[in-house]
């Protein structure tokens, strides 16, 4: 087989970008609108890509478009190629005199209020050549984005590395009950025993959430009846319910770190036993770690130390050296 022309190579990169957008949006129409490409032209390019690889990459249905097993593999590799191309463009454009490039970082919803702005401000001041992409979501979805190559770094609630992923333990955070449990817990109490939460109406994230699993295991181990009356995968709603008095919720202190006292439900540290969960900075071993990514990782570690030392971030214990 002869060498392919530069035009063919350029076309391949464009096809990969089209394919990634279709998978991201789950729709040919939405991807076409985002890319400013006519939908028939987009379909034609994907058909050529499928013809090149020799297998179907997408499953089309009335519910939208999903990747086949081969398409999922193509998606992971395509994102890696596009990421490397973006890094190349940035480094050529900015030169090699400073850190540059795009770094995508995922923060759990509970940590965004205390950590996202300090990271943004520090990076803008120290690394003007780095373009941050900040994502906020529940930790389970961040894990998926990291595995798919859509994130360079994510803070996840784990403390050990797994196959394909490196983990840097950063902190342990304690959990608090927000709201008014009643019973033996008085309005002046600053702590709440786990036993005092027996059968107290609680709202919590859904069954796939790591915090929910931690709560279920802890309550079961301590033989305390757990009464979750609603699954709520929204931090603002969890806080609103706790403030309303209709039910309580259990969250880390970072969830309300920057809320004014008037908009903050009563918060008590859970004791006997204290409930802690580890948080780590994680990155995929399948995605090259750029010098810009290393700089952002160090910046996050630095800021966590500063926020802990200043008292801005309550209820955490540092794990990093």
Domain with CATH 3.40.190.10 in the chain: 97-171+278-318, 173-276
Q: What is the pLDDT of residues 107-129, one digit of tens each?
A: 999 999 899 999 999 999 999 98
> Residue 35: which residues within 8 A CB-CB, separation 6 or more?
17, 18, 21, 42
Q: Where in the chain do CATH 1.10.10.10 domains reside?
A: 6-78
Write the CATH number of the domain with boundaries 173-276.
3.40.190.10
Whole-angstrom Cα distance, residue 255 to residue 236? 9
Q: Which helix (H) or strand (E) holds 84?
A: helix 69-94
- pTM exceeds 0.85, yes or no: no
**Residue from 187, 261, 197 nearest 227 by CA:** 197
In CATH terms, is domain 6-78 a member of 2.120.10.60?
no
Distance in angstroms (rounded) separating the CA atoms of residues 246 and 203: 10
Whether the link from the prior residue into 273 is cis, omega within 30° of 0, is yes
Q: How far apart are CA 127 and CA 132, in angstroms?
A: 10
The hierarchical CATH code for the domain 97-171+278-318 is 3.40.190.10
- Beta-bridge partner residues of 64: 61
Mean pLDDT of 17-32: 87
Distance separating alpha carbons of residues 251 and 8, to the nearest angstrom: 53
Q: Using one digit for the tens of pLDDT, what is the confidence trace for 181-214?
A: 987 777 788 899 999 999 999 999 998 888 999 9
């Amino acid at each position: 087989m002869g060498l392919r022309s530069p035009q063919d190579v350029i076309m391949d990169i464009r096809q990969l970008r089209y394919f990634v957008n279709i998978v991201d949006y789950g729709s040919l129409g939405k991807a076409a609108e985002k890319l400013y490409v006519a939908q028939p032209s987009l379909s034609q390019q994907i058909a050529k890509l499928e013809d090149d690889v020799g297998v179907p990459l997408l499953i089309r249905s009335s519910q939208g478009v999903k990747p086949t097993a081969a398409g999922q593999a193509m998606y992971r590799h395509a994102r890696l190629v596009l990421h490397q191309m973006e890094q190349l463009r940035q480094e050529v454009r900015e030169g090699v005199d400073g850190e540059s490039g795009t770094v995508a970082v995922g923060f759990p919803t509970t940590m965004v209020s205390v950590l996202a702005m300090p990271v943004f401000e520090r990076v803008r001041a120290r690394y003007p050549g780095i373009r941050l992409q900040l994502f906020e979501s529940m930790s389970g979805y961040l894990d998926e984005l990291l595995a798919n190559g859509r994130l360079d770094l994510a803070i996840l609630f784990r403390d050990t590395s797994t196959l394909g992923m490196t983990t840097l333990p950063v902190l342990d955070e304690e959990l608090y009950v927000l709201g008014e449990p009643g019973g033996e817990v008085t309005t002046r109490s600053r702590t709440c025993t786990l036993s005092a939460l027996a059968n107290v109406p609680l709202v919590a994230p859904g069954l796939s959430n790591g915090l929910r699993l931690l709560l279920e295991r802890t309550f079961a181990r301590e033989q305390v009846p757990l009464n979750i009356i609603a699954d709520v995968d929204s931090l603002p709603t969890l806080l609103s319910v706790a403030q309303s008095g209709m039910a309580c919720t259990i969250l880390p202190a970072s969830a309300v770190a920057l809320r004014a006292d008037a908009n903050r439900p009563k918060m008590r540290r859970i004791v006997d036993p204290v409930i802690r969960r580890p948080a780590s900075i994680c990155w995929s071993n399948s995605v090259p770690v750029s010098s810009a990514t290393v700089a952002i990782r160090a910046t996050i570690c630095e800021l966590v130390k500063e926020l802990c030392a200043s008292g801005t971030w309550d209820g955490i214990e540092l794990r990093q050296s």
